Amino acid sequence: MSQSGGTNLETGLSMTHSTQLGQHRVYVMRSDDDGVTFEGMDGSLTPTGITATLTPKTRGDGSAWAWDVVGPGAGLYTSDGVIIIPAQFRNIYSKDHGKTCINGGFSAYEPDNKPLDPEDEISVLFYNNAESDAPSRTIFLNSGTTTRTEMRFRISYNNAKTWPMCRPLSNFTPPSGSGTEGGYSSMVKTADKNIGVMVETNLDISNNDVSARGILWHKLNLTWILHTCAC
């Protein structure tokens, strides 16, 4: 695949440079069989469009809203049944299993500039609560450099306040011919308590709008990540 999906606007710009309202739309689907099949919220095979209710028409400064991204990652599911999906400049949430999705805006936050990052998407996975035989663990994954390469895991034992330990994903040998791995990512805790990781990769090394992109899937165990070095 390519980053632009092979589609250009009438202006000649790729979809990644879209400034035209409506080029990016928001849809929701559901699955009752662990992701084997999906259907729209009305039971049809068509994704349910929710752009009109979830995508603002203007930014905070009054300029037109065009570029939009939903994610990163797998979203959050709280203990009281609320689905939370981070998105550009807002959080989307649902209290009825996706039937109704609401633009929740952003609550107050403070930036954490300690982990090195090229202003790229990062992934965070709350792996487990504190237990009698184990501390709570939050896992963080990002491009731990000034470019979108060198993906690095970090581990926190105090609810993401500090990240004392880390391990490069490059320690895990990628498939042959997978190019330069790094960029956007997504993590999930699997049923067997391992960690599933999807990572963007640049297949032809060059870094431009027409370079070939791909997605790599890794499945790692916690022990592998815990064999870390000091950050």
Task: Label residue 1 by pLDDT band (50, 70, 90).
Answer: very low
| CA dist list (Å): 11 to 7, 15, 18, 141 | 11, 10, 9, 36
Task: Label residue 206 by pLDDT band (50, 70, 90).
Answer: low
pLDDT at 155: 92
Q: Which of 109, 86, 84, 106 is nearest to 97 (CA)?
A: 84
- 90-97: list long-range contacts, CB under 8 Å, 24+ apart: 90/56, 92/54, 97/30
pLDDT averaged over every residue in the chain:
80
Q: How many CA atoms lie within 13 A of 70 on its CB side?
A: 19
Return the domain boundaries, the chain: 1-99, 123-230
The mean pLDDT of 140-153, rounded to a whole number, is: 85
The mean pLDDT of 44-68, rounded to a whole number, is: 83
Most confident of 1-10, 69-78, 130-139: 130-139
Task: Label residue 203 by pLDDT band (50, 70, 90).
Answer: low
Task: Label residue 43 by pLDDT band (50, 70, 90).
Answer: very high
Structural contact between residues 55 and 26, judged by C-beta atoms closer than 8 angstroms: yes
pLDDT in tens, 101-129: 999 988 888 888 777 888 788 899 999 98
Task: Label residue 100 by pLDDT band (50, 70, 90).
Answer: very high
Q: How far apart are the first and last CA of the chain?
A: 34
**Residue 74 burial (10 A CB sphere; 0-12, 13-18, 19+):** middle
Q: Which residues pair with 48 in a beta bridge?
A: 28
More confident residue, 23 or 45: 45
Could you list the beta-strand ranges (E) of 11-147.
Answer: 27-28, 48-49, 76-77, 83-87, 90-94, 102-103, 123-128, 137-143
